[in-house]
Amino acid sequence: MLKAFVDESYCDDWFYMVAAVADDETVAAMTADLNDLTADLSYGFDVDARAEIHGYDLMQGRSIWKGVELPLRISVAARALTVIADHDVKFLIRGLDRTAQRAKYRKTVYPPYPMVLTHIMQEVDRYAAALGQKAVITCDEIHEHDRHRAMLEDHRAKGTPTYRASHLRNVAGELQFVTSESERMVQAADLVAYLKHRIISKPNATGKEARTRRQLWSIVNSKVESDYCWVP
């Protein structure tokens, strides 16, 4: 049984969602190693040993990372991505060009979360099927849990409302929701989602910022199984 952990990163123009997919053994090992990383960091920073590795907070110096100098925060991100890349995890990435969506549909612009979640569920289903397995999907907590669980059941019954409809036969059980601070695998998905979204939404970065993005992305690039953005 595979486990897929999902988180998102977005702005007014772009919406990205990432699934970190791995088996139980990899989930346990990667979680332990990320716990060891934050425990180690607690000796050098004023952070709890169980601190959440949250992409936005870490890279923007917010929350527990407030006051930590940028070079040190970049180093922490690189160390976390290196830990992630050392494990047999794959990332499935789906995005939505919200500007193009608004321009095309105008009066009937659907919310991005359920739309991109459908795309992610479909991609998790495809990936699991290719391996002859099934996958349970766990998402970062968000409002309307029951609505999104019902959406999965509807897709199973009627097929996804996409170009290549799927009945998601390789997605097992109901959608699970957890707080990101309680689940390291969701944090891994969040860090990759933040970095991907930043690369796409801020394409004109130059100098040190551009180099930093390339260096960080290069750490996990080989772990990206699929990467697609829908431009309506």
Considering its fold, how many domains does the chain have in total? 1
Q: What is the pLDDT of residue 67?
A: 85
CA distance 161 to 168: 12
| Residue 44 located in a structural domain | no
**What is residue 204's predicted lDDT score, i.e. its pLDDT?**
86
- pTM flag (> 0.85): yes
* Distance in angstroms (rounded) separating the CA atoms of residues 90 and 128: 11
Question: What is the bridge-based pairing of β-strands 176-178 and 135-140?
Answer: parallel
Assigned domain for 77 exists: no
Evaluate whether residue 101 is within a structural domain: yes
In a domain, 36, yes or no: no
Helices within 42-183 (DSSP H only): 55-60, 70-85, 98-105, 112-130, 145-158
In a domain, 73, yes or no: no
- Please, which residues bridge with residue 91 across strands? 20, 224
CA distance 182 to 26: 17
- Judge whether 133 lies within some domain: yes
Q: Using alpha carbons only, what angle is made at residue 114 by residues 112 and 115, rounded to the nearest 5 degrees?
A: 60
Tell me the C-alpha distance between 49 and 43, whole Å: 8
Amino acid at 57: D
Domain residues for the domain of 111 are: 2-23+90-230
Q: What is the pLDDT of residue 167?
A: 96
Quick one: pLDDT at residue 164? 82
- Specify if 145 maps to a domain: yes
At residue 84, the pLDDT reads 98
58-92: buried (b, 16+ CB within 10 Å) or exposed (e) per residue? bbeeeeebeebeeeebbebbebbbebbeebebbbb
What is the pLDDT tens value at each position of the chain, 232 positions in all?
999 999 999 999 999 999 999 999 999 999 999 999 999 988 877 778 888 999 999 999 999 888 888 999 999 999 999 999 999 999 999 999 999 999 999 888 999 999 999 999 999 999 999 999 999 999 999 888 888 999 999 999 999 998 888 999 999 999 999 999 999 999 999 999 999 999 999 988 888 888 999 999 999 999 999 999 999 9
Residue 83 forms part of a structural domain: no
Question: Can you give the pLDDT at residue 184?
Answer: 98
